[in-house]
Amino acid sequence: MSEVTKFLKENPVQYLATVGRDGKAKCRPFMFCFEKDSKLWFCTGNHKDVYKDMQENPNVEICISSPSYEWIRISGKTVFVDDKAIKEAALENPIVKSNYQTADNPTFEVFYLAEAKAVIADFSGNPPREYNC
């Protein structure tokens, strides 16, 4: 898990793909919050389409590329949790703080990826490295 977390932290702009409520693929920029209790945590607002899409179909995939031409793909199921301590930890990021201000904000949602699997690959010809997260 540490290699996956390191990759996410070093490459802060990720792309999250969902199945939209119209049945079509949707992809948007996203940001990793942190790893806690062997879970990868993220956040969003419940007023956003991405939240509504994940409520209807929790299967997502995240893809990130590094400047050195490595990439990671992480797939899993979103699990939303109402946990004030997790929300407060997410608010340590200034971007998250500017959007949601407090852990009590009724639109602020946190989630982790259950059954997450990650693959890190590159153009070296070496086999991809696979992880269960």
- For 41-92, what is each residue's pLDDT tens digit? 999 999 999 999 999 999 999 999 999 999 999 999 999 999 999 999 999 9
| Domains: count for the chain | 1
Find the CATH number of the domain harbouring 89: 2.30.110.10
Give the residue numbers spanning the domain of 113. 2-132
Alpha carbon distance, N-terminus to C-terminus of the chain: 6
Give percent of the chain with pLDDT exceeding 90: 96
Average pLDDT over residues 100-117: 97
> What's residue 121's pLDDT?
96
pLDDT band at 125 (very low <50, low <70, confident <90, very high): confident
